Amino acid sequence: MDFLTQLDHNFIDVNVLFFIQEYLRFEWMTPIWKFITWLGDAGWFWIALSVILLIPKRTRKIGAAALISLLIGALITNVALKNLVARTRPYEVIDGLILLVDPQHDFSFPSGHSCASFAAAMVYYKMFPKKYGVPAVILATLIALSRLYVGVHYPSDVAAGILIGILAAWIACRIVGEKKDVKKKSEES
């Protein structure tokens, strides 16, 4: 068992997962949480939305920043850290933890779903008016929480993914210049 997996067998990470399984999982909610986690699969939802934002000239910079952010997050999370840390998925090592989706084929730390969701959502939050940015952050939060609900990540995986996503968004906004043209135009209307 690797070092981080051993660390995760502590009070917080394991007990949070069991608390969710015992007290927050309901049969009627499971399809909803599975759908939410599916939205984060391979970052497809955020990639598609960002590509669509490239089409109108007014939102092109936002789409570009989001795609850059997603790329930075994927490189840090999926290419570097997952393979470097090589943390085993919780359902593979915690007896009694029930997996609600198909087994994952990569390592657990950090959460790629959480990273991608926050990488894009934080760009939208920073560069769009709040009426668009806030729902994006809410959806990103739901996707991150869904990873705990379905049993594929430790809470620390999700927290790390969120932080990396926020960092990626910050870097991407700096790269594209982060002008708030869309906000100014929207507020003037």
Domain boundaries, the chain: 29-182
Q: Nearest-CA neighbor of 122 among 54, 173, 55, 74?
A: 173
Taking residues 50-77, what's their average pLDDT? 97
Instruction: Tell me what the pLDDT averaged over the chain comes to.
Output: 90
The residue behind tokens 């009694």 is 96
pLDDT classification of 127: cutoffs 50, 70, 90? very high
CA separation for the pair 122, 158 (Å, rounded) = 16
End-to-end CA distance of the chain: give it in Å, rounded: 58
Prediction pTM value? 0.88
Taking residues 73-100, what's their average pLDDT? 94
pLDDT classification of 8: cutoffs 50, 70, 90? very low
Q: What is the CATH number of domain 29-182?
A: 1.10.606.20
